[in-house]
Chains A and B, each alone.
Chain A
Amino acid sequence: MSHGHDNPILHPEVQMSSTRGYFTGFLISLVLMAAATAMVSSHAFPPFGLLMVITICAAIAIIAQIYFLLHIDVSEHNIWNTVSLVLFIPLFILTIGLTWWMFSQLYLRTMPMMPGMH
């Protein structure tokens, strides 16, 4: 708990970072974003399929960024990262899930079905 003034470069979480990791994460995100943009602008799939494909791209990008850029894993010296991740998951489910629920209820009452959803 006491605040040491040792060299911050030697902290284990700082030691985990590497140029190669950052570039890999950056490249993966870039490729996925470019692919998603290209698919959307060329209308490569019907709308609902497109939605699914870009969602999958986004999910892979998130995992790549968590791993390569944020170095979140379950090791002992990253315990606070794990705690934040555990806190984050219910928030993620709640916000996305409740939004999805309220808008699906709204659309039932107000919107025609999106093409390709049947």
Chain B
Amino acid sequence: MLVQVPGGWNPLLGRLAIDQIPYTNPILAPLFVAVVIGGIILLGLITYYQKWGYLWKEWLTTVDHKKLGVMYIILGLVMLFRGFIDGLMIRTQQVWANGPQSSGVFGAVHGYLTPFHFGQVYSAHGLIMILLAATPLLVGFMNIIVPLQVGARDMAYPYLNALGLWITAAAVALIMISLFVGDFAHNGWFGYAPIFELQYSPGVGVDYWIWTLELTALGTTLGGINLIATIVKMRAPGMTWFRLPIFTWASLSANIIALTSFPALQVALFLVACDRYFGSHFFTAGFGGNLMLYTNLFWLWGHPEVYFVILPAFGMMSEIFPAFSEKPLFGYITMVAASFAIAGVSWLVWLHHFFTMGAGPEVNSFFSVATMLVGIPTGVKVFNWAFTMYRGRITYTAAMLWAIGALFLLLVGGLTGMMLAIPAINYMVHNSVFVIAHFHSMLLVIVYAIFGSVLFWFPKVFGFKLDEFWAKTMFWLFSAGTVLVFVPMYMLGFMGQTRRLDYVFNTAWHPYLVTEEIGIAVYCLSVAAFFVLLYVSIRDRVKNRVGQDAWGTSRSLEWLTHSPVPFYNFAVTPHVNARDELAWRRHNGINEAQPTQYVDIHMPNNTGVAIYIGALTFVLGFALTWRVWWLCLLSLVAIIVLMIVRSWRGDPGYIITAAELEKMEREAMQRQQQVEGHLPHHGGHAVPSGAMAYEGQKVSPLGTPPSSGDHH
């Protein structure tokens, strides 16, 4: 039943052999040495400072949504860096391999990458940036912020949350190991039939690509289920649907898309795997297969996925603009409606990725109109943000700069998107770098929103602000890089440069390619500024400590609890009285009202099962890639056994008693008093009758924390 693979195969090691390690490659071999040395130093440092126990207890086995979110974000930032290096390699190859006179090194005729290696680099760049950088970063933010915004103690399923993280980490490990063991796919990040068939890509690259995508799809689906359940079921009392913060609404719409679309990707790739492993003919040219059916199935997921990543970014912008304009968000209801309109239309537009298939004028017109429809809700959002800022008291913090930058990029990306939605234009620029520049503008909207959010929510998670000077330096360098790389790219697209060229024939394009390379150098400076930003901020962390409301103008519920957020989130579940609850409390002078009494709370225990299952899914993916059947079976059985054992045992959780809680809360409030240099003060506003600060407790007029009489 299984297909015979070309090259060697043995029952013990499958296709693994020593010649699969690219130790002769002049780029990968030194990198491998550097990675090994770096890894040894890192592990040595952890051992030297005896941090293994801490790492295991506090991070690797945690089910705390904030720590899992932080790990998602670290994972995403590392992969963003890796994807950036791939981008740097692509740009360097193109500026070097320009024209017949250009030199070649390392076995390449032109430039420094052979066509096969170049193909792997751009495939990895695309896959990493969308699925292993943007997605984990956004999922990380949703993980941290959504439970806080709805007033929950944790996600609906804390253990499932850990499982989602570790399966995503397994996908990351799989794509990273493809650097040093075997090779990666050269078929572009979305793949083409029939080049990914075994006949045309006999190596393991495509198999790495299949299983990396399958694992990340699984991880994201689990995360999506969890977030939807959290938003639907875990809202604090009083948090009605139309009091939900916009970021939570955006997360809900995005995760509905994820939950409904990721199965299409999983099925499409499973069918590719059937072709490659069992010799079926789903996507071959003969035997009843259909090449375009793959493209169809892929974009059936691929387009909703695009909105899965953009909607949370829109949600982030919707949080940043009001906070730094000191105004409520303009058009809340229309914002919610626009998010769901975008989510709904996302299912109707996927053919615009392959207008040139030749489905005829009726089909192309339908999808063209559907694509342009997306412009309406997106336009509503742009105007809402503009009206939020209009006549607001705007503070140009670094976070606000990133959000405004995202708004400008959205205009550029959105308007070029409208152009591409017209089939007549699309036929002209199909697969040109104009399309590349368009979707990079859109994906950079996400990157800008993410960096804005890092700055905006960092004090909530860690208790101190990031340095404004270096954050702004990074912003301006990054924006200069964006202009320098992508404006020439739009131009080159109109001049006819197609995507994915390992050799650029036209020497007249050289100045543009050089400008793009300069842009990449400026991006490198902004990366350096980011590291300086982290260093300076951590060095000055004591000076930059903040209280609960880090910005003083924050609006939603997450700013009600302490900074950094205690592991139990809210000592007593808050009662929500209004949309923009914290702004409402500030207005009514009860923003520092503390609960009058505490009750025991029930928390989930840490578990190592999630990381074990993550490790085993990595082993499964690796074994499937190399066709080591005994190891596949072993890891699959181990995963199932672990799942059953864990389900059987369940988690009784543990109790934090009211006394312990009161003690921790008092310490947190003392820290806050040190930071803010004053006691909680209370305005003299009359609180509307029926208002409740905490569940089951009337608003205390003085709001003094229980049994804390020591005024200093």
Residues of chain A touching chain B, judged by Cβ–Cβ distance below 8 Å, are: 1-3, 5, 80, 87-88, 91, 94-95, 98-99, 101-103, 105-106, 108-110
Contact = CB atoms under 8 A, between A and B. Distances in A.
A1 B602 contact: no
B232 interface: yes
Contacts of B233: 1, 3
Interface string B341-360: 00000011001000001111
B573 interface: yes
What secondary structure prevails in chain A residues at the interface with B?
A: helix
Assign chain B's interface to a size class: 20 to 34
A114 B53 CA distance: 65
A2 B151 CA distance: 10
A94 B360 contact: no
30 contacts: A1-B233, A1-B236, A1-B237, A1-B239, A2-B236, A2-B573, A3-B152, A3-B233, A5-B602, A80-B232, A87-B260, A88-B260, A91-B347, A94-B348, A95-B264, A95-B347, A99-B296, A99-B300, A102-B351, A102-B359, A103-B293, A103-B359, A105-B359, A105-B360, A106-B292, A106-B358, A106-B359, A108-B360, A109-B360, A110-B358
B347 A3 contact: no
A61 B292 CA distance: 27
Nearest to B357: A106
B347 A102 contact: no
A60 to B, nearest CB: 19
Contacts of A88: 260
Contacts of A98: 348, 351
A105 B292 contact: no
Contacts of B347: 91, 94-95
A35 B260 CA distance: 29
A87 B296 CA distance: 22
Interface of B: 152-153, 156, 232-237, 239, 256, 260, 264, 290, 292-293, 296, 300, 347-348, 351, 357-360, 362-363, 573, 602, 653, 695
A101 B296 CA distance: 12
Contacts of A101: 363
A29 to B, nearest CB: 16
A105 B363 contact: yes
Given A2-B237, A2-B573, 13 more contacts: A1-B235, A2-B695, A3-B233, A3-B234, A94-B347, A99-B296, A99-B300, A102-B296, A102-B351, A102-B363, A103-B296, A105-B360, A106-B357
B237 A105 contact: no
Nearest to A2: B237
Contacts of B153: 3
Contacts of A106: 292, 357-360, 363
A87 B347 CA distance: 12
A91 B260 contact: yes
Contacts of A80: 232
